[in-house]
Structure 1
Amino acid sequence: MLFETQDESEFRAYIRHTRESNPQIDWSAVRIDNFCGHLEHANTHRLSLFVPHPRPDPSQNQTKR
């Protein structure tokens, strides 16, 4: 997770600032979630970066006997 807030304007400002200041982020791997709190809780806005599991290195795949 990169950032989480319940303030939508703060969330949008964070995204805008991050896009301008960190061009190294692969935005095709970014996930934006908006969790609806209904009437009981405030809505939550979350920015996450997908990080895939690394592929195993076949040269290190040794079976113990």
Structure 2
Amino acid sequence: MIFETRDQAELRACMRSLQEARVDQATIRIDTLCGRLTQPTTYRLSRFITDG
């Protein structure tokens, strides 16, 4: 996991910084954890790393 937030604007800013750093976008995964009424929605940014 690279980054986790409840704010979509922070998620977009993190994605922009990764693009500027020329991180391969095919290795990025965004998960949206829906909390419904008990927890707020959380956005999690992860990066796939090859074994080896």
Give the TM-score taking structure 1 as reference length: 0.70
**Corresponding residue pairs, total:** 52
Q: Name structure 1 gaps, 5 residues minimum.
A: 55-65
- SS of the aligned residue for 1:37 comes to coil
Corresponding residue number in structure 1 for 2:37: 39
Rg (Cα) greater in structure = 1
- The Cα RMSD (Å) is 1.1
For the residues of structure 1 that align with 2:31 and 2:24, how far apart are their CA atoms? Answer: 17
Q: Name structure 2 gaps, 5 residues minimum.
A: none
Identity of aligned residues (%): 42
* Alignment pair present for 1:12 and 2:12: yes
For the residues of structure 2 that align with 1:53 and 1:18, how far apart are their CA atoms? Answer: 21
Give the TM-score taking structure 2 as reference length: 0.83
Moved over 4 A (4+): none
- SS of the aligned residue for 2:15 comes to helix
